[in-house]
């Protein structure tokens, strides 16, 4: 069986889950190298890429490292509101 007949969705989902679990474990262990970049995985070419991400000075979370308040209206629409 090859990828053309079996597909690659399962293995790519498995790789994405493993990458996410690795990131969570690194953060939980206090590994600061888990921050400051975004990882992307190209399942077609089987390539993992890391792109550097900088903190935005105008972002309240990036600037202070603390979440001051969570405003539900920023994350929901009228269709999501319960009556």
Condensed to tens digits (0 to 9), the pLDDT of residues 42-70 reads: 877 888 899 998 877 777 777 777 777 77
In this predicted structure, the answer to whether residue 76 has a pLDDT above a threshold of 70 is no
Contact present, 48 and 16 (Cβ < 8 Å):
no
**66 DSSP 8-state letter:** S
pLDDT at 70: 76
Task: Identify the H or E element spanning 42.
Answer: strand 37-42
**From start to end of the chain, where are the E strands?**
37-42, 47-52
């Amino acid at each position: 069986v090859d990828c053309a007949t079996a597909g690659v969705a399962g293995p790519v989902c498995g790789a994405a889950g493993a990458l996410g679990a690795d990131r969570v474990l690194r953060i939980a262990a206090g590994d600061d190298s888990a921050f400051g970049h975004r990882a992307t995985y190209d399942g077609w070419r089987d390539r993992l890429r890391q792109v550097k991400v900088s903190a935005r000075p105008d972002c309240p979370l990036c600037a202070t490292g603390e979440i001051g308040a969570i405003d539900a209206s920023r994350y929901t629409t009228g269709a999501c509101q319960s009556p």
